[in-house]
Structure 1
Amino acid sequence: MSVFIDITGLPQERISFAPSPLAELAAALHALSEPGHHARLHGWTTATAASLKPELADRLHEADFLWRAARADILLPPTPRETLAEELDDLDRMDDERYVAAAMEISCASRYGEGIASPLVDAAVRKRALELAAARGPRQAAFARRMLDDPPAVRAWIRRLFEECDEVFFADTWRRVRVQLAADARHKTELLRRQGLAEAMAAVSPAVTVERDGPRTRIVVDKLGHGRTTAFEADSGSGSGSGSGSGSGAGVTLLPTAFGWPHLIALHAPGWQPVVQYPVSGRELAGASTPVDTVKLRLEAVAHPQRMRLCRYLARGAYTTGELADANGITAPEVSRHLAVLRKAGLLTTQRRGRYVLHQLDVAVVARLGSDFLEGMLR
């Protein structure tokens, strides 16, 4: 389960790192709408939300499906600019069908990777988009209907909303974070130039790797989902209209964000230039990311009732296979089979003491898996 970006034959200079004010504004708006995702930003989200006038807060709520559950592709520019105004100008040059189709990609569960038609031209897609908006609330449903009925007016409304956010809180925020983001982009660019693609992607995130299969080369973004795209698939001017400066549309853009953690976003819609927005993390986070397949393996390992009972003992101390069998009323071979599953998932530590082999739950690993589970084992 990953997003695969085929970059076979792509010149290295077409892989670019750059900060984007529009993408960072979208990340900040997401943090405001879902503060539970961003405990590290509690101070900023609390202070910023409290400073918003009710009228602005209401309008942000009205349009929040653009950045809340799913990030609209129009908010991830393939050709970042120096200023928010320049990126909004690029966005204005996009045609209505493309803009509305991207803006109405409301649900992460929808058919994102299929390249479906715009709701402006396809009645079935329009109906589905309105249903998804209605599920978000009556104000979001009304906003979606206005967008479908009068795209130019709503596009102008969205631009004014972003401009007001810039005036009220984002301009000051951007001044504080842009230096960090620009420095990160320069560092990754230099790493790409000097040490190559694999090293640069590893520096982006442990969840981003490079896969080579014969003549083919792909960037792999480890996510709980599946998608495929190519750096050569984008239309001319993909994502920002014909004036975006994206040239042939061939390339991959990586956008650092100070507001994004723990999210790692990969734009891989058909016909769009691939864009990855990655969090700029502190040194203490290096290597902390666990592959999704490993998380799945660990969840499956602890989901079995008998293994949960074994984990209760193993969380409290080190035990031999015989001790666990006696305490749980099962045979030693049964215990060994369950321990093998837990060990394969990386949840056990094992030590030999003379002729005895002692097993214990790796509490640090289990804590990352879920504090409620660990507390239940230790209760």
Structure 2
Amino acid sequence: MSIDITGLATERIVFETSPMGELCLALHALSEPGHHPGLAGWVTATAAALRPDLADRLQEADFLWRTTFSDLFMPWAGLRGGTGRPGATLAEELDLLDRLDDDQFVTTALEFACLASYSIGGPSPLTHRPTRTRILELAAARGPRQVEFAGRLLKDPASVRAWVRRLFEDCDEAFFADIWQRVEPRLAADVRHKTQLLRRKGLREALAAVSPALHLEDGGRRIRVDKLADGRATATDSVVGPGLTLVPSHFGWPHLMVLHRPQWRPVVHYPVGSPELPAPTSVDLLKLRLEALAHPVRMQVCRSTARTPHTTGELAGVLGISPPEVSRHLSVLKKAGLITSRRRGRYVLYQLDVRAVARLSSDFLEGILR
């Protein structure tokens, strides 16, 4: 994944905290605790304390932070004529969310069904009937909640916008305000440190401090992000204005996210710190799993199924191979215990067992030192 920064002034590269960005990761940790083994205690306590009505509403919209990390949580990056910077409070960022037009809001909220065109854009589902039909078909594979939500969003964006804002406000009241008060000082300190590093030692040193996955290339004209994904972004888009924002996260590990939607400012959302991984499994199982992953297509299958289940047909479309080929790769991964499956109606959905994958590195070290 790359970010073109040709001609971008240094002062347009900023480090900022984002309450909504952190809310996204907190909600993701609640819905996918397997991605965040170090947060098990917090997840258990927070989930147990949620009001039943709030828990139900979170399940209804969880594809905004579980299936994908929706760009709705960073509305400031898409506002035309805006500053390109987050708000200081959740309320301020919710006001920025209200300023997105309906087309931006709907397309971004339906990101889970628009991944194939994320990097290049496409027709609006509000006005283009084939796009609308395709989105509803893809939502059907996600279950009745997603179908209902997608249909309501396409029919009446205004009511869904109000519903989403109220949901985030209720999350703030229930648990997030306390979280933000606790983690914001640490994130602000990281922002100050990285900003000073950028000013005193330059962008290369600042990127290295953010993550070893970030590299400055092409004579300082491009940032490469080492991820199992293809994507291109520009930090000098004439529509939204120039700028690149880097946002630290307490809840982010192990995710390093890059917002690269066309005509939005690029954003790098990076974790601060990382917890310990769980205890290792057997060496025989480790060997089987490493052999299963020693294929580029199976690595892509893992990436596609890490955040949300996919059908064989969906994986075939994403990977550009035939359904029988997908089935063969899924069979190898299932034998290694890396993929789970479940049936929903006429669909069979496959998903990566992130707990098993999270243990691989510690399992490997334990295995060779045992």
Shorter-chain TM range is 0.7 to 0.9
Q: Deviations over 1:246-304 (max 9, x none)?
A: xxx2100111000010000000011111011000115999xxxxxxxxxxxx9679859
Could you tell me which residue of structure 1 aligns to residue 232 of structure 2? 228
- 2:273 pairs with one of 250, 273, 281: 281
1:138 and 2:144 equivalent?
yes
What is residue 17 of structure 2 aligned with on the other side?
19
State how far apart, in whole Å, the 1-side matches of 2:18 and 2:175 are: 16
Number of residue pairs aligned between Structure 1 and Structure 2: 288
Does the residue aligned with 1:278 lie in a helix, a strand or coil? strand
> Which residue matches 2:165?
159
Aligned pair partner of 1:252 in 215, 239, 244:
244
* Native 8 Å contact 1:234 1:270 kept in 2: no
Q: What amino acid is aligned across from residue 225 of structure 1 in structure 2? A: A
- Equivalence for 2:218: 212
Deviations 1:191-242 (A, max 9, x none): 00000000000000011111124xx611111110111111012633xxxxxx
Alpha-carbon shift at residue 108 of structure 1 (Å): 8.1
| CA pair 303-30 structure 1, distance change in 2 beyond 3 A | closer
Kindly indicate whether the alpha-carbon contact (under 8 Å) linking 1:266 and 1:277 is maintained by their aligned counterparts in 2.
Answer: yes
Structure 2 vs 1, CA of residues 373 and 138 (structure 1 numbering), >3 Å: closer, same or farther?
A: farther
The answer on whether the counterparts of 1:201 and 1:209 sit within 8 Å (CA) in structure 2 is yes
- CA distance in 2 between partners of 1:195 and 1:131 (Å): 50
The residue number in structure 1 matching 2:190 is 184
What is the distance in 1 between the residues matched to 2:131 and 2:25? 27
The normalised TM-score by structure 1 is: 0.71
Q: For residues 89 and 235 of structure 1, do their structure 2 counterparts lie closer, same or farther at Cα, with a shift above 3 Å needed?
A: same
Matches within 5 A, 1:41-120: 41-76=39-74, 77-78=76-77, 79-106=85-112, 109-120=115-126
Partner of 2:34: 36
8 A contact 1:31–1:38 mirrored in 2: yes
CA distance in 2, matches of 1:30, 1:87: 19
Maintained 8 Å contact 1:211/1:218: yes
SS of aligned partner of 2:119: helix
**What TM-score do you get using the length of structure 2 for normalisation?**
0.73
Which stretch has the larger CA shift, 125-134 or 195-204? Answer: 125-134
Unpaired stretches in structure 1, ≥5 consecutive residues = 237-248, 286-297, 305-366
Cα distance between partner residues in 2 of 1:154 and 1:15:
33
Q: Is the 8 A contact 1:234 1:272 kept in 2?
A: no
Residue 109 and residue 92 in structure 1: after superposition, are their counterparts in 2 closer, same or farther (change >3 A)? closer
Contact 1:16 1:252 in 2 (8 A): yes
Amino acid aligned to 2:121: G
Q: Indicate conservation of the 8 Å contact 1:33/1:64, yes or no.
A: yes
- Correspondence for 2:307: none
| Partner of residue 267 from structure 1, selected from 259, 279, 285 | 259
Amino acid in structure 2 at the alignment position of 1:86: E
Q: Say which of 9, 14, 17 aligns to 2:7.
A: 9
Q: Which runs of 5+ in 2 are unaligned?
A: 78-84, 278-288, 296-358
CA contact (8 A) 2:253 2:274 kept: no
Alignment partners' CA distance in 2, 1:302 and 1:187: 38
CA distance in 1, matches of 2:65, 2:238: 22
- Over 3 Å counting, the alpha-carbon distance change for 1:42 and 1:284 in structure 2 is closer
CA RMSD in angstroms comes to: 2.6
Sequence identity of aligned pairs in percent? Answer: 60
Amino acid at match of 2:123: A
Aligned to 2:363: 371
Q: Are the aligned partners of 1:134 and 1:140 in contact in 2 as well (CA < 8 Å)?
A: yes
Q: What amino acid is the match of 1:82?
A: A
